[in-house]
A and B are shown apart, each in its own frame.
Chain A
Amino acid sequence: MSNRTISRSGLYEPYYEHDACGIGFICNIDGNRSHEVIANGLQILVNLTHRGACGCDPETGDGCGIMLHIPHEFLKAEVADHGFELPDVGEYGVGMVFLPQDRESRESCMQILNKAILEEDQELLGWRDVPRNSDAIGWLARENEPVIRQVFIRRDEGLDVDEFERKLYVIRKSATHMIGNSVISGKSEYYVPSMSARTIVYKGLMLPDAMDKYYLDLADERATSGMALVHQRYSTNTLPAWPLAQPFRFLAHNGEINTLRGNLNMMDSREQHFDSDLIGNELNKIRPILSPGASDSANFDNAFELLVRGGRDVDHAMAMMVPEPWSGHESMPDDKKAFYEYHACKMEPWDGPASMAFSDGVRIGAVLDRNGLRPSRYWVTTDNQVIMASEAGVLHHITNDKVVKKGRLEPGRMFLVDMAEGRIVDDVELKSKFAARNPYREWLDTYRVEMPTDLQDVDPVVEDTALLERQQVFGYTREDLEMILAPMAEDGKEPTGSMGNDAALAVLSPRPQLLFNYFKQLFAQVTNPPIDPIREDIVMSLETDIGREGNLLGESPEDCKQLHLKSPLLTNAQLTFIKKLDRDGFRPAVVSTLFEVAKGPAEMDHALHVICKDALKALEDGATMIILSDRGVSKTHAAIPSLLATGAVHQYLVHKHKRSECGLIVETGEAREVMHFALLTGYGAGAVNPYLALETLDDLKHREMVVEKKPGTAHKNYIEAAEKGLLKVMSKIGISTQQSYRCAQIFEAVGLNTALVERCFSGTASRIEGIGVKEVAQEVLLRHAMAYPEKPARRPELDVGGAYRWRRRGEFHQWNPETVAKLQHATSLNNQQTYDEFAEEVNNRSRTLAALRGLMEFKEGDAIPLEQVEPASEIVKRFCTGAMSYGSISGESHENLAIAMNRIGGRSNTGEGGEDPRRFEKDENGDLRRSAIKQVASGRFGVTNEYLVNSDEIQIKMAQGAKPGEGGQLPGHKVFDNIAKVRYSTPGVELISPPPHHDIYSIEDLAQLIHDLKNANVHGNVSVKLVSEVGVGTIAAGVSKGKADLVLISGHDGGTGASPQTSIKYAGLPWELGLSETHQVLVENDLRDRIRVQVDGQMKTGRDVAIGALLGADEFGFATAPLIVSGCIMMRKCHLNTCPVGIATQDPELRKKFKGKPEHVVNYFFFVAEECRKIMAQLGFRTMEEMIGRADMLKFSPLPEHWKARHLDFSRVLHVSKAWENSTLYHSKTQDHGLEGALDHTLIKEAAATLENKDSVRIAVDIKNVNRTVGTMLSSELTRRHGLGMYSGALPEDTIWIDCKGVGGNSFGAFVIQGVTLNIIGESNDYVGKGLSGGKIIVSPPEEFVGDAADNIIIGNVALYGATSGKAFIRGVAGERFAVRNSGAWTVVEGVGDHGCEYMTGGRVAVLGETGRNFAAGMSGGIAYIYDKGGTFSVRCNMGSVDLKALHEESVIELRSMLEEHVKYTDSSVAKKILENWDEEVQRFVRVMPRDYARVLKQQQQEQSEVTHAS
């Protein structure tokens, strides 16, 4: 195989690669060195292999590495024959250097580095070839293998070690910059993994077990270290890149930095203002600090390194970059809070899921992000070692008798070993130490200005221009008033809508669009989780500081001369406050963004230059806050779009390295909805004053279109709604704080050209080109002309809009009266002619300028006769219907689709609401009402073993087109009996699906869930549903490497059911982009043939299918169209339960109106398939397989007269990737799921008696962390074999009893059924009892463990997630998110981390020890009993949906029996003690009672007593 490089002409962008992984370290607390530490470090890596991944070459892997102390003795001996001698430890540094393969390049690089050493007055001792065995690595890695050498540098005598480290830093950076700027041909291969006097990094593209085979140094017994910090990478791409392996110079990272773009920009701005006595004049040599082309982790390391080399301790630097959630923390000491507040003025957090292990060679530690989204477990041993890793049990030889402490890293906490001091420094000590470094609170009080929140409304600014005209100038529509502003002002909530977005993309709409409309929000899927901003508001914050930043490398009181805001939304009074600020360090300056209309569009371009210069000038004249204002639009003056102005000024100041010197505030009439605020802050604004929206509200109040429930609340509600929305947008991408969201540019542009993007939104993806500044100006002027017509012929009025629903004079919608009626007529009458008219209507691109595919045309092919094309009956098997839950739509319509799809051999989808097992059996007429695809979504409603076993395909919904990155909510009044039953919940109790899957925070977690589901149904396929956005291709590659059988790319425009309007309109991208990116990246990485690719999103016709296939799809999903065929008329009120045709409703009266018929749906799919066949015949394809991926048969063909669309460029979308040898452009192979190694094969063998005769058996096995998903395959086999289930019965308790000794791997006991008991003696990792379906899990420490069970962690995070029934007894402490979304399991545990019982809807949880923060958030059912010894529980409980009550008679009995059982199974000492003194101890329990649940229980009781009385 020849060396393949990714083609850059397609949609692939390395920037969007993600990686995640396993990390760990081992150290001797006293820093004593031994070879054993290295060997153990490598062993940790090997035992984390399953957390990594490999691409098309199974030997290559995604990379791993190890950081060690410099093995001095060994190297001393080694270099002896290199002609130089090493001085003592600390007197020299070692650089580990990757050099180009090309000899000439290599030597040039070495020369430059040598020169850099001399320039810094250090002595070059010599070079050493690192002995390696290239046979140990895969072919792909070998092709890119660098030459690896070590360079030895002697310390100048005048320097101490820290100073020397700083020198080495300068040497490394300056040499890297020089080489980077040189003309050396192989310079891209040059890379320095480490250069330090203390540490050394060995890393590369290999599998863990190849590390010491490749790097012979590592195997050498003479090599010793006191620590070993390791990293195992799982990357979404596969193309070989040695430098991407971790650790970096200081750290290894598991997770993802979401805010990278903003961090990069801000660091870039700041670096000119660095001032450091320590680094001194060398600053020029180290700039630029960051390496924008490298990964998020690498850049984090760069910034971290700067802070450390600039003089901060590693722990201090880490606390700056990954702060705890301090804002709103109930119990954080004030000095610590002040520390964080002070540092927030200097630097925004690097936000995102992160478990970081770091070391400078003296101290070694780990930190966890504020959400605690990555697992980190540690053991402290009797022989003074600390072992920390992503999983427990990574060193199998360490037995329990040698462990004194088993802990986990908690959210926001740090764990540090000071090897110099020889002790563990805990989080409290660490942080109180640096909180006391300076009187931060005093500094803040003295210098920081607090924005008052209770300012009286100022007198409104009276503008000369009438409100209506200004509204028109800024493009207000009647819909904006009715559907956006009024609901926000009345309810303080974001408005909701339904049925997706079928309107035109902004660039395709002939109407002038706000610039905002050209942007789409990016969102988290797979590689990082979205956050729930409501239930987990403890981590969220809108607080920001604006003003001039101080020197990042220094620490002076004046650095906090900033204005502190609780939120970036400013009322008029608040803006006035800012405008009037006049004191040292606070100087506002207003820059007007108006331009003269008469001079035409070019004038706006010019004005854009002028405002940038004006801003810079103001700043140089001392302004610390620039206010961009569009006040004063008039007949003669229009405003530059606020986003364009903000972006331009921000980028301009970034380029001038001046951005950190001022705050940017936008006073605008244009911004009015959540997306607008998100964009403005995301592209640089520190705060926004939406004055016209506020003025409009006053007018609406006056006209009684807004009715205030309390007087004076309209503005407040509006701002609150906007703030909530902003939090939602941030949390969608997994960002917690506004401070780091600001400037983070988490958007993709659609339809803007490169010049414009580079100028104002640099770094934003815009992949199909589009309009430029001139056209934007034309849009502004068009709106202006509407407000000021040359000759007014009618009363001025607002535009109708029609963006949210079809309106005759509004935006074009693909679903309109014509298309809906034609489709219904065609399918109900089975009328080909009417279908043709429908298809013509939809396909006619002049009319459907709503989707990108409208601008594509088929090329001329070698036509073949239609008969030669495969029959429609084959094609329809590639069709699926969309995931719509029973609950979101009625049973009638759900079954209608299922029957139709089963008739044609396609697949329908359960959606996320479970499925009644009655549907698993055939009807008398042979129809099957079962959905072939069973969806597994974040709520896990009704996801039982039985559900999974009865599937052909299990779909993991990572995101949905209408609202990617968000959860859902089924209000109690919609949870009817039948719905509650299949969802395993209580009728009338609200159900919440969390935004993330709590067992997927990262790509390796997804691989784990795929593995779990595969175990649960070995006969089914597992698919992963993603939503199109830039980078989805690399995620899909990761999904393919994670062994999914199918990946679904959803378009932004699809979607049924309720969703916030902001999400419907602005989240997600067209599928054309996502699909072709996915196909291209999969093909380039040789991952395409092993996975099926499905696409959906507003699919309507055979032409859509044909284009989907040509762009790379094997299968096609349809949702809206089959619903319309079933009678849907796009009422767009699905969220109101008032569907007048009986589809999106549970109302029994309305359901009667459902008139859909399966045969109509069948007719539809055959029409589509036949239409597709005709196109295939035209193009000359006999089968779909021939057609898939043949983008070369498409061409871009816009309407030349379309004044916007004609600027588009589809060349990257239509880029054709060539298949690798022996591979195909379509799905043709199967994944290797690696199930053969499962422990369950042994269990199944041992349980033969039960499988055959339901006899009981007892089994004993040893377990290790590599035994994942234990008990699952066995349970499913039992379910299948004996037809067990909701209606068909279960096995008696303990029929199979399995004793497991050791450390359980992830997902221990997932989906285990009733009758199966797993008894672990030892401990276990994350996801114990995931989806527990009736089984019993017991976990207790072995007798030899010396620690107190109740104080030590025994199971990992997210145990019992989505459990529907069963029991679990845990003797010890569990990690974060215990029993999240539990709907029926009963469990006892002796302590839990943060977010316990979140979203729980049923079951019982007894906690006999400490709980973390945010307990019971969003809990709507079930009961938790908390042993609240200290009486402090209420502080840590989220009281949003629950009450804390004393135990009553019934609960006392219940709890007691739970504890007795706990003692019986685990011999728990804490439970025993409580029981011994029961009457007294029981008083200390608190009953956590969800209000909703209490209400329903009470109601039920009443009803029951009424029944009793009546009878």
Chain B
Amino acid sequence: MLPDKEKGFMVYDREIAQDEAPEERLKHYKEFSNSLPPERITEQAYRCMNCGIPFCHSGCPLGNQIPDFNELMKEDDWEEALRVLHSTNNFPEFTGRVCPAPCETACVLGINEPAVTIEINEREIADRGWREGWVTPQTPAERTGKTVAIIGSGPAGLAAAQQLNRAGHSVVVYERSDEPGGLLMYGIPNFKLDKEIVLRRVEQLKAEGVEFICNAEVGVDVPTSKLDQYDAVLIAIGSTKSRTFEGMNVPGSDLKGIYPAMDFLPQQTRRVMGKTVKEEELLATDKHVIVIGGGDTGSDCVGTSLRQGCKSLVNLELMPKPPVDRIANNPWPQWSFVFRTSSSHKEGGERKYSILTKSFEDDGNGNVCALHTVELEWGEPDETGRRQMQEVPGTEKRLPADLVLLAMGFTQPETDTFVSELDLELERNRFGQGIAANTKDFKTSRENYFVAGDARRGQSLVVWAIHEGREAARAVDLYLTGESTLQARDSHGYDSLAREGLPA
């Protein structure tokens, strides 16, 4: 007997199914997280208080209507819950797996209790939808006759493609890789996001009428001039330029054995998918691995290296170890800067904080054999929020390493491509620079060229990419037809009418 809807949070504790044990899951590359039995999942939905102000859905970049779908779960109406989810998020099965869930740090229950399991609820709804066959192609009733090219098929490109296609435009997606999906496909390891999940979504898009052209790098395989034939072009090429030690004056950073994470991770996915690896095979097997960078990509490298059977693994992070609890000036409902342990970190390896890499040691054959590091001391943030670092004398160390994976973030989109051919204006952002456009019309400096996702805003979360894809799609739709009934985060559907199309 389930309790009063209003009192679930007083009755149930937060509960998440046990993942497959690390020693077991390290034996394979499949997803390893489990589900609670159905009634227990519903109990978790009962913890949602259906707040007067759901801070969670302000915490969510997509504006997912979290209380609404939780409410529908309570009512056992999963199909409607899925419809609600899809109204803000084209791909809940992706975000239900790989999102750091800013919603949960904004959850009202999180003020004084563990937050609601929002992300898992999302995943459960989406997975159930797929299982039950509720996710079907939605073809547009009419075609507008307008054509749109989308460059890049990462989450931003995919979301935009689906939205624009549903608005009745004919959409062609150019992907330079052999499969659509961008980082979803080859960036995120299979054990975090099963590639079948990506592919089935791509299939849905195809069935709805989106055309995917793979192995088609614009400016290389496809002449840039071909873009002129489209009524609009949306660039969603991501921010794929990895940050390296280049120009940082770190001796030995060009040694063999030091690779950006994105040289390493896609290879493993190709292997899992039974595809050949064309480049030099990078494997951590029996190696001392050092991963530099403590973010998501770093942890992906950790998980992949452990699965490949590395001899040892150290994960270095430049920044200090975050506090366990929120500090005073990082109050709820802000994103919480606290210490988090990713699933990969639970699988093994060692994490070190406040470590600066001073140099790489050559084994004599041009291969890396060790890192030389020093510990850092970080000052209090100044007015701009920046913190000064200082090396701590006497903390120098030598760490042996056969394979060094650089997961230090991405600085910007690759611009020595069609981007420069098109002469698109760039703009500085937090990480480096992106293709210039605002978040209202997403227009680049070139007429009828639009940009969305990491290519515009710099490296970010999948959820932000989907968000930008959706918002940009609406902007493109408005551009093409003067009005749009596509939903966007803050649009209630009336606004473009009210703004521009008042019946006179």
- Give me the interface of A with B, judged by CB distance under 8 Å: 478, 482, 498-499, 510-512, 600-601, 703-705, 777-778, 781-782, 785-786, 789-795, 797, 799-800, 802, 805-810, 813, 815-818, 820-821, 824-825, 828-829, 1127, 1129-1133, 1136, 1138, 1140-1141, 1147, 1149-1150, 1153, 1155, 1203
A511 touches B53 (CB 8 A): no
User: How far does the Cβ of A222 sit from chain B's closest Cβ, in whole Å?
Assistant: 75
A789 to B486, CA, bound (A): 11
| Given A512-B498, A799-B492, A808-B489; A1153-B477 close (CB under 8 Å) | no
A511 touches B51 (CB 8 A): no
Instruction: List chain B residues, Cβ under 8 A from A790.
Output: 483, 485
A1458 to B377, CA, bound (A): 84
Instruction: List chain B residues, Cβ under 8 A from A808.
Output: 57-58, 63, 65, 489-490
Instruction: List chain B residues, Cβ under 8 A from A1133.
Output: 6, 49, 52
A807 to B67, CA, bound (A): 10
A825 to B58, CA, bound (A): 17
Overall SS of chain A's interface: loop
A1153 to B49, CA, bound (A): 15
A794 to B166, CA, bound (A): 7
List 17 interface pairs A-B (beta carbons < 8 Å), by A numbering: A510-B494, A600-B504, A704-B77, A778-B502, A782-B497, A793-B167, A807-B57, A809-B63, A809-B487, A809-B493, A810-B492, A817-B53, A829-B331, A1127-B111, A1129-B52, A1129-B108, A1138-B49
B interface residues, tally (CB under 8 Å):
63
Check: B390 CB closer than 8 A to any chain A CB: no
B75 touches A705 (CB 8 A): yes
* Nearest A residue to B167, CB-CB: A793
| Given A778-B503, A824-B331; A791-B167 close (CB under 8 Å) | yes
A806 touches B75 (CB 8 A): no
User: How far does the Cβ of A234 sit from chain B's closest Cβ, in whole Å?
Assistant: 43
Instruction: List chain A residues, Cβ under 8 A from B168.
Output: 791, 793
B492 touches A809 (CB 8 A): yes
* Nearest A residue to B63, CB-CB: A808
A511 touches B494 (CB 8 A): yes
The CB with the most chain B CB atoms within 10 A, among A703, A704, A809, is that of: A809
A786 touches B494 (CB 8 A): yes
A792 touches B49 (CB 8 A): no
Extra pairs beyond A824-B331, A1140-B108 (10, CB < 8 Å): A512-B494, A601-B504, A790-B483, A792-B141, A797-B87, A815-B53, A1129-B52, A1138-B49, A1147-B10, A1203-B498
A601 touches B49 (CB 8 A): no
* Nearest A residue to B495, CB-CB: A510
Which of B52, B83, B486 contacts A499, CB < 8 Å? B52
A220 to B53, CA, bound (A): 75
B65 touches A704 (CB 8 A): no
Check: B140 CB closer than 8 A to any chain A CB: yes
A511 to B492, CA, bound (A): 9
User: How far does the Cβ of B327 sit from chain A's closest Cβ, in whole Å?
Assistant: 11
Which of B80, B163, B331, B477 contacts A825, CB < 8 Å? B331
* Nearest B residue to A831, CB-CB: B329
A1289 to B171, CA, bound (A): 85
A703 to B83, CA, bound (A): 14
A1140 touches B112 (CB 8 A): yes
Instruction: List chain B residues, Cβ under 8 A from A601.
Output: 503-504
Check: B367 CB closer than 8 A to any chain A CB: no
A824 to B332, CA, bound (A): 9
* Nearest B residue to A1147, CB-CB: B10
Instruction: List chain A residues, Cβ under 8 A from B51.
Output: 805, 1129-1132
Which of B58, B329, B484, B498 contacts A782, CB < 8 Å? B498
B49 touches A1131 (CB 8 A): yes
Instruction: List chain B residues, Cβ under 8 A from A805.
Output: 51-53
Which 7 A/B pairs are nearest by Cβ-Cβ distance?
A1132-B52, A817-B58, A781-B503, A793-B167, A808-B63, A809-B492, A1130-B52
User: How far does the Cβ of B195 sit from chain A's closest Cβ, in whole Å?
Assistant: 28
Instruction: List chain B residues, Cβ under 8 A from A1155.
Output: 112
Check: B7 CB closer than 8 A to any chain A CB: yes
Check: B348 CB closer than 8 A to any chain A CB: no
* Nearest A residue to B481, CB-CB: A791
A1131 touches B77 (CB 8 A): no
Instruction: List chain A residues, Cβ under 8 A from B9.
Output: 1138, 1140
Check: B109 CB closer than 8 A to any chain A CB: yes
* Nearest B residue to A809, CB-CB: B492
The CB with the most chain B CB atoms within 10 A, among A791, A800, A1153, is that of: A791
Instruction: List chain A residues, Cβ under 8 A from B87.
Output: 794-795, 797
A807 to B497, CA, bound (A): 20
A911 to B451, CA, bound (A): 56
A1359 to B288, CA, bound (A): 92
The CB with the most chain A CB atoms within 10 A, among B166, B332, B484, B497, is that of: B497
User: How far does the Cβ of B493 sit from chain A's closest Cβ, in whole Å?
Assistant: 6
Instruction: List chain A residues, Cβ under 8 A from B53.
Output: 805-806, 813, 815-817, 820, 1129-1131
A806 touches B503 (CB 8 A): no
Instruction: List chain B residues, Cβ under 8 A from A785.
Output: 497, 501, 503
A824 to B144, CA, bound (A): 49
B489 touches A817 (CB 8 A): no
B 37-52 contacts with A by CB, 8 A:
49, 51-52
User: How far does the Cβ of A1382 sit from chain B's closest Cβ, in whole Å?
Assistant: 35
A794 to B165, CA, bound (A): 10
| Given A703-B77, A782-B503, A809-B492; A1141-B52 close (CB under 8 Å) | no
A1002 to B182, CA, bound (A): 75
Instruction: List chain A residues, Cβ under 8 A from B71.
Output: 482
| Given A785-B503, A808-B63, A1131-B49; A821-B492 close (CB under 8 Å) | no
* Nearest A residue to B163, CB-CB: A793
User: How far does the Cβ of A633 sit from chain B's closest Cβ, in whole Å?
Assistant: 16
Instruction: List chain B residues, Cβ under 8 A from A1136.
Output: 6
User: How far does the Cβ of B56 sit from chain A's closest Cβ, in whole Å?
Assistant: 9
| Given A786-B493, A1130-B52; A821-B485 close (CB under 8 Å) | no
CB-CB contacts of B161-175 with A at 8 A, as 1s and 0s? 001001110000000
Which of B10, B486, B490, B502 contacts A794, CB < 8 Å? B486
Instruction: List chain B residues, Cβ under 8 A from A795.
Output: 83, 87, 138
Instruction: List chain B residues, Cβ under 8 A from A792.
Output: 140-141, 485
Instruction: List chain B residues, Cβ under 8 A from A600.
Output: 503-504
Check: B464 CB closer than 8 A to any chain A CB: no
A478 to B492, CA, bound (A): 12
* Nearest B residue to A785, CB-CB: B497
Instruction: List chain A residues, Cβ under 8 A from B166.
Output: 793-794
B 177-224 contacts with A by CB, 8 A:
none
Instruction: List chain A residues, Cβ under 8 A from B328.
Output: 829
A1495 to B466, CA, bound (A): 59
Which of B55, B59, B484, B489 contacts A1129, CB < 8 Å? B55
A512 to B57, CA, bound (A): 24
Instruction: List chain A residues, Cβ under 8 A from B494.
Output: 510-512, 782, 786, 799
Check: B54 CB closer than 8 A to any chain A CB: yes
B 327-381 contacts with A by CB, 8 A:
328-329, 331-334
B333 touches A794 (CB 8 A): no
Instruction: List chain A residues, Cβ under 8 A from B77.
Output: 703-705
User: How far does the Cβ of A705 sit from chain B's closest Cβ, in whole Å?
Assistant: 7
* Nearest B residue to A811, CB-CB: B492
A825 to B6, CA, bound (A): 27
A790 to B167, CA, bound (A): 11
Instruction: List chain B residues, Cβ under 8 A from A815.
Output: 53
User: How far does the Cβ of B362 sit from chain A's closest Cβ, in whole Å?
Assistant: 51
Instruction: List chain B residues, Cβ under 8 A from A478.
Output: 68
B65 touches A800 (CB 8 A): yes
User: How far does the Cβ of B301 sit from chain A's closest Cβ, in whole Å?
Assistant: 35
Instruction: List chain B residues, Cβ under 8 A from A825.
Output: 331
A705 to B53, CA, bound (A): 23
* Nearest B residue to A1154, CB-CB: B112
| Given A786-B494, A797-B87, A1133-B52; A1150-B10 close (CB under 8 Å) | yes
A704 to B80, CA, bound (A): 12
A807 touches B65 (CB 8 A): yes
